[in-house]
Structure 1
């Protein structure tokens, strides 16, 4: 039986949709049919459809409540990509799932674990009432980056882990196009949560373990940004019944950009650095105990790989029914919830001046 090419719609017409989603989807346009793009306003929807028109034919322009309802009622639309303000994504996801659509929503999965617990309960109820499996994915591209996946392969080469250092330093000034996105200024945790989930996801991916507890200090230096804008934390990572200390710094106020994961083990050190000069990607360096260093570079390919994985899930879901279908676990809403839970624990610990806080389990 031939695999069905799914029809999808995009909810959202902001910066990320126009500059990332549409170009990346255009590279894999043979895997799906883009039927519609929706936004709250006609102007935003029209602008996004015009850009999409350079790559896709016949994309319908939808806006407002009536346009959203048309997408919900359209039985030909199999799946929806939700790329909206973080505060709204869970509600929209559940609404589309209830209408029988598969959903991939942008990270973060939510602003709080309380909302996620309620949402997961609703998802279970919706799924139980559905005639077939419904996919709810979170677009966490760091779980699909080839450079980070290489790190996951190499982590065993350094032996027992002694310590892990995680640094994320990036500027967030008026010159950054995302600075003007008001929802990030009113979002719990602001830019630190929005970006921080990436680095928690990468840490969990590479180590293959969950963060058990955190102790953090937070500060708010730039009053033009939402608090906190700087974090220094120690995370206890449980792996093979061992605990490692992980230090992380998230800052959105400095002028230089530095994203680095460093894993120090008994047999060597593994470093993964995100590259921003020229074509974005990753530099992976394995320092052996013999003094030899093996370096390799990888492209930044996580967004396109996560979209391919989601579209594959949607297509395969039509061929396999019930328990036979298993969605890509890296896209799971539960994985996204676990990332948020770590950041939430960090914020709570920071508010309590470094008190150890256990991470909520999902």
Structure 2
């Protein structure tokens, strides 16, 4: 933030001082979790370990799917994309926090903060869109098995992912540009471990009505569209499963959706716990919930999708054995 010597302050006219009070900050301070150096050191080390495991786990998923022709299906195509996005989600927040701890700093420049906000909005929303596309894929596999290959053609799969990227990037660009129009004065302390859009928005000393309006309207639409698609898809899936004559068929259908449902519950449960509450009540509990969908979910996704999937485990064993040989 721009600071002036005491002598220069007294020499300023009231008009100059008014303009200075509206000067944009050049950096923000990421206060982290507890503010106590001992706890922050432990948390930084823990987050670094989680980040490395997340990168390795999701990269193995991508490589296993890419190297095994038996996994070149729509379901695994979407899973590979989800793993790539999970790597990006973790990379947006954790490295900066770890680097700041190593350097003994809490600062993040204004440009870095806006960049972090843009990519945070992009990748977290892309997670939601991919989960909805995967739910649509499961719906076709269970409810329309005879027409599945005809419906889920490779071109449609690519189109669904590409369209999601376009919509999400436009969404993130809109909110980042709106954030850049705001003025930030003396208060530049972010009570978070990264530049969370809602936390940064509360620091502005200018009118945030347009920003909040767009969050409720356009942002609500972007959030509710994939969430509604997931709910509707599983409503049809469960209604179809209940009509199956054998218990074996029911178990097989539910096992196909079990991993995806677990990830959806973890991801959307944390988001609803944070962003569906009044901003004035944003607290430490919300920071913990944010950690769940930005750090924990990308970490556990590879384990959830691989531990209960025979094809995935076989492909991983083959990948690891081939790399050792």
- TM range, smaller chain: under 0.3
- Where is the strand percentage greater, Structure 1 or Structure 2? 1
Q: Larger Cα Rg: Structure 1 or Structure 2? A: 2
- Where is the helix percentage greater, Structure 1 or Structure 2? 2
In the superposition, the TM-score normalised over structure 2's length comes to 0.25
In the superposition, the TM-score normalised over structure 1's length comes to 0.23
